[in-house]
Amino acid sequence: MKKTSLKDIADQLGVSKTTVSWVINNKGDEKKISRETQEKIFELADRLNYKPNQLARGLSLGKTNSIGLVVSDISNVFYAKIAKVVETAAEKHGYNIMYCSSDENPDKEQRLIQMLKDRQVDGLIISPSKVDSSQILQLKKENYPFVLIDRYFPRIDTNYVTVDNEMGSEDLIRHLIGQGSRRIGFISVSSHLGVIKKRFAGYKNALKKEGIKFDNKVVREVDYNDVEGTIATAIRELIHPPYKVDALYFATNYLTVAGIKTLNKLQIRIPMDVAVVGFDDLDFFDITYPPITAVAQPIEEIAEKALEILIDEIENREATTPKRKVVLPTQLRVRRSCGHVNI
């Protein structure tokens, strides 16, 4: 028992496919199809449980009402939440989402974007992992609607929605210094990424403004593909002489989690032995031991804004209006890990 198609309905009623198509798409009145015929069509469509084939529809219309979302890791809470908000918001506009994880792998990202284009998504939301922005330039050249989130390329004119990483980072570190820290280790991954650079810049700004000399020796980069292992090494080095940092700043949420785990394992007490702060807040940072001070990103806003811009671009393609660049403020969440505070 195969699925019913327009043709089945048309044949059974002795009308043409066109008529059925019009009626089903509620253009019956506009196209002056008689009430009687319309009713017959609706009735039969209902009875046969007719559902339009969206592939055929998409092929014919050149529009699929679907959007691709490419992030580095959908199982990272930050992106999972973005995904959820985007999905919910998209549904309201009649769009569906296809998500993919690039695993910070530029080749995979390339393939995913191509795959989504092959499937004719109407637009893309991308958190690019690439240093090299060739595929973004390509999308731009093709005039394919897309919005970057979280990460973007300052030299390329594209839509993007991000947060003020530099300022957020600076606030965080100045607060940390205010709590008494003087030697602050900086631990990151993928330091080639713009956002990480900004966070690093904010860290340096803070040191400067607070009159602390920047020391490149306490800056470490761990390997995305072996966070657990490399972060342990980095931390062990930093907390011992000759570096002996009195605070650690983790540049992403998963680094913070991995860092705390390592510190626990090494029996380093937080914040007594070493204070800890992280960029990007997580739901459970207030029930960890100790609760972790972090900079929070406005996830909902990022996701909603990105989708809004994208849909606007998809639906009003006319003029290539100036690309929209949105930078949202972050929020400092002070908890116990950064030093002696009453919370």
Partner DNA sequence: GCACTTTGATTTACCGTTTAAGTGTGTTAA
Partner DNA sequence: TTAACACACTTAAACGGTAAATCAAAGTGC
Instruction: Give the C-alpha separation, 46 to 48, whole Å.
Output: 5
**What x-and-dash track marks residues 71-100 binding its own copies by CB under 8 A?**
--xxxxx--xx-xx--xx-------xxxxx
The minimum distance between CB 167 and its own copies, in angstroms, equals: 27
Residue 311 dihedral angles phi and psi, to the nearest 5° = -65, -40
The answer to whether 227 and 258 are in contact (CB under 8 A) is yes
Task: Kindly state whether residue 140 participates in binding its own copies, applying the rule CB under 8 A.
Answer: no
Q: Which of residues 279-298 bind its own copies (CB under 8 A)?
A: 282-284, 286-291
Instruction: Give the C-alpha separation, 121 to 146, whole Å.
Output: 11
The answer to whether 251 and 196 are in contact (CB under 8 A) is yes
Q: Are strands 293-296 and 219-222 parallel, antiparallel or unpaired?
A: unpaired
Name the residue nearer to its own copies (CB basis): 88 or 191: 88
Neighbours of 284 (CB within 10 A): 11
The position carrying tokens 């050249």 is 141
Task: Kindly state whether residue 6 participates in binding DNA, applying the rule CB under 7 A.
Answer: yes
Q: Are strands 275-279 and 247-250 parallel, antiparallel or unpaired?
A: parallel
Task: Kindly state whether residue 119 participates in binding its own copies, applying the rule CB under 8 A.
Answer: yes
Among 1, 30, 46, 60, interactor with DNA by CB under 7 A: 60
The minimum distance between CB 32 and its own copies, in angstroms, equals: 28
**What x-and-dash track marks residues 62-81 binding DNA by CB under 7 A?**
x-------------------
DSSP state string for 116-150 = HHHTT-SEEEE----SS-HHHHHHHHTT--EEEES
Among 64, 169, 190, 230, interactor with its own copies by CB under 8 A: 64
Task: Kindly state whether residue 22 participates in binding DNA, applying the rule CB under 7 A.
Answer: yes
Among 30, 42, 53, 206, interactor with DNA by CB under 7 A: 53
Residue ranges binding its own copies (CB under 8 A): 1, 51-56, 58-59, 64, 66, 73-77, 80-81, 83-84, 87-88, 96-101, 114-115, 117-120, 142, 257, 260-261, 264, 282-284, 286-291
